[in-house]
Each structure stands twice: as structure tokens, then as C-alpha cells.
Amino acid sequence: MSHADVLKNLGFTDAELTGGTLAVRSPIDGAEVAQVRETTVDEMTAVIANAQAAFRAWRTVPAPRRGELVRLLGEELRASKEDLAALVTLEAGKIVSEGLGEVQEMIDICDFAVGISRQLYGLTIASERPGHTMTETWHPMGPCGVISAFNFPVAVWSWNAALALVCGNPVIWKPSEKTPLTALACQKIMERALVRFGDAPAHLSQVVIGGAEIGDALVQSKDVPVLSATGSTRMGSIVGPRVAARWGRSILELGGNNAMIVAPSADLEMAVRAIVFSAVGTAGQRCTSLRRLIVHNSVRDDLVGRLKKAYASLPVGDPRDAATLIGPLVDQASGEAMQSALAQAKEQGGAVFGGAPAEGPKGGVYVQPALVEMPGQSAIVKHETFAPILYVMSYDTLDEAIAMQNDVPQGLSSCIFTLDLREANQFLSAAGSDCGIANVNIGPSGAEIGGAFGGEKETGGGRESGADAWKGYMRRQTSTVNFSAELPLAQGVKFDI
């Protein structure tokens, strides 16, 4: 399917794809596929005001009715799954199955959020005062800003939007400048759901296109009480303090430098399959990609030998080809960052296997994944490079391995391969992994929406999806009702007049 066919199938018109100031290029072949119109900073005032107006209407709609809109969105996503997935491949360079998987994740979160719409539970609290009842309830916050990254161009929006909408909040989405078309396509899909819903307020879902100045308008506005931002640690270090300074709430999903510990008892065949997918899937451009492999000395040579054999056989190329497992890096800058990291690894004592340019459609940046054996956890190992680079290091004791895993600034995802029950439980204990996600006998990449997603330290501390992530989009209110004829004070205080 050609680039033009993908866009046509999603209902894009020539007017939407031409005449704008933002050039959109496909990482598949570097071809310019659109010139889209950017939102101006001056327009952001009206965008945010429109979201506030939508909030005043939407917050009074019963939550199960709000859930109906998200149910319809899920239906529309099912109907458009293959077309939207093809656009993810076109614009982000993901292989076909990963594009389809990302849209399936959107469908899954819609299903999840519909259930949550009937479970926005509060509490009834025992009061110490006779004739009093106390309750804790949850209420909508207001417009939610969503700033997303190129590597999951549609799923991240859905994680936030599905929950925000059932919680009573409008959504303003600023996608990555590298992937605006997927956002515009999602807005078209949402608009079909809104038409079927019938009586939702205008401007409940809005998309704004542009660079840092557009994102900054969301970050700085007191009328956007919740700001979810996915991206680099550098970006989060700017966004978080600015949102906090105006007393807003941020949900930050930032960098990851994820490790796997391979213990002496590990099933190496299973570990190899998990390592390869986690390290090279999406060309190493996931925040949950495996970047550090910490292997017990007794199995290191065996495991590295198996990995080199597997790496040498991986098909790299056009992501639209069903046989391809590794598509392109998103742009030339990513390729340059990968080569710079490999050069630094060599300077710091590393032995590099792979990492050379690979064949693919002309104009795209295709590379062989790299396996780098390191003498220790040097500076470059502690730095997250968004590319298919896997650093391999050794350990003797589990305590040593866990300390090495935790000795990086990021704290997103982690895992251990072991058949030893004691080792598995130590890894999952308070003295084990310090990450938001900790797995046993499964890689760090590929989270399900039923569990809270996010991490600690420089990963930002935010959580999306999962059982209680909806609370991030709502405000808590404690209420006390006195149904007696007396006025006792708490803690036995006497104040008679």
C-alpha cells in the first residue's frame, strides 16, 4: 500500500495534507507525505477556553453515560484498526504487527475505561462524632493536556483520553511534531464516535499541532489542571516544575534504562526470545526497551553466543514487509546518536557486535542491532540511547546484580530470568528492583493496560492505566454531614459560647 493510499483510507483530504508549515516525513523512505497546518500560540487561548466550556457541561453528565462515548470510540477504533495501524507504520516506522498491536492497546484501554466509568468509587468513613456521616467522593478536575512522543503515537493518547473522558474531563492533545497525522486520524475517529453519541459538548476532544511553544501553552495554563507528558527526561525536567509552579498536576512518563538479570538457573532459550524482542522491537525506540543485560558469569558465554547467532539472523528493512522484524529509526539524528553511543562504548572498554548500517528503502535510516559487551556499567551504559543497543555485563551475586540494575538515574521497567523462587522473590521485594515495573521470566517491554504503567526516579513517577490511575484525573473531596441536633467538635474540643 502506498503512502497516499494509507492517508486516503483514513479520510484525509488534499486540503488537510498540503499548504501547511509542518513537513511530515515517513521514516520508511524519508518521503514527505504531508505539509500540515500548525496551531498558533494565539489560537491556544481559544482552544483552552473551549475546553473549559466543554468541561462545565461534561462534568455533569453521569459517569456511565460518559463511558458510553468511550465504548463508541472503541467500536470506531475496531472498525479502523488496520487503517490506523498502517498509518502508525507509515509515520513512526513500526512493523505491521507492532502497529496493529498499538491500536489494539487503544481498544483495550477503551474497554477498561468503560468498566471504570461504573467504578469511580469513594468511601464511607466512620465518624468519631455521634450523628455525623463522613464520605469521600471524587470529582472531575477539568481540561487535561496530553503531550505524546513519536514512538507510541496513538496509544499514549488513548491511555489518557479514555480515563480522562470517563472521569468528566475534556482532552487537548499535542502530539509529537514527527507524528501529527496519526493524531489527526484519531481525532477523525473520535468525531465519528461523538456523532453517534449525540449530545456531547463541542470541543470535548481537541488536537493542536506544533512545537515546544504549543506544548508550553498547555504547561503554563492554569486552566489545564492536569498535564500528562510522555518523552525524554530533559523534557520532563522542564514540564514538571512549570506545572507544579502554577499548582497543576503532572503525570510524567519519561526515560527508561531497563535491565534484565539472567540468573544461573534461567531458561536460556526463553531468555533469548525475551531479550531479542525487548532489545530490538520498535528498533529499540520504546521507553521499555531492554538496554542492559546483567548476566551471571556462569552462563554469560553461552547466552552471548546464542544472542550473537540470533542477532545475525534478524531481518531488517521495510516495516511494511511481513517478514521484517526491525524497521527504521525515526530519523537521521537517531542514527547519529546510535553511532555516537557505540563510539563512546568502545572508548569505555566495550566490544561491539553489530550496529552497522543495514539495507532498507532508500531515504530511511536502517541499522543492524548492536550487542556491546562491557567491562562494567560505565557512563554511556547509564545514559539512555533511543536505539537498538544492548549492553552486556556480568555479576557474581544477586545482590551485586540488583545493585547494578538500580544504579542508573531511570527507574521504569526491569526483569529477572530465574527458576529459583528465592531469587525471584528477592527481586520483587523492597530490597529488590527499584522500578515501577518488575517482571519475572518475561522481558521489560510489552505492558498490559490492566496494570499501572510508569516508573520512579527520572522516569517521573507518573502512572497510566491500571486499577486506580483514574484518580490522577480527579480531585478528592471529603464531606461531613451532621444529621443530629448537636454540634460536637472533633477531638473532643470544647468551644462553648
Q: Which residues are catalytic?
A: 253
- Let me know the angle formed at the C-alpha of 173 by 218 and 437, rounded to the nearest 5 degrees: 95
Using CB atoms within 10 Å of the CB of residue 183, give its burial: 0 to 12 exposed, 13 to 18 middle, 19+ buried: buried
Q: Report the distance separating Cα 69 and Cα 262, nearest Å.
A: 45
Q: Report the distance separating Cα 375 and Cα 392, nearest Å.
A: 9
- CA neighbours within 13 Å on the CB side: how many for 357? 10
Which three-class secondary structure string do you get for 458-479? CCCCCCECCCCHHHHHEEEEEE
- 145, three cell numbers: 493536556
Following CA atoms 439, 440, 442, 448 in sequence, which dihedral angle do they give, to the nearest 10 degrees? -40
- For residue 168, which of 215, 124, 201 has the smallest C-alpha distance? 201
Q: Report the distance separating Cα 435 and Cα 18, nearest Å.
A: 44
A 10 A CB-CB count for 337 gives 16
Contact 261, 395 (CB under 8 A): yes
Query: What kind and span of H or E run contains 370?
Result: strand 370-373
DSSP β-ladder status, 132-140 and 144-147: unpaired
DSSP β-ladder status, 258-262 and 249-253: unpaired
Which residues are registered as beta bridge partners of 357?
367
Contact 232, 255 (CB under 8 A): yes
Q: Report the distance separating Cα 252 and Cα 147, nearest Å.
A: 10
Contact 194, 54 (CB under 8 A): no
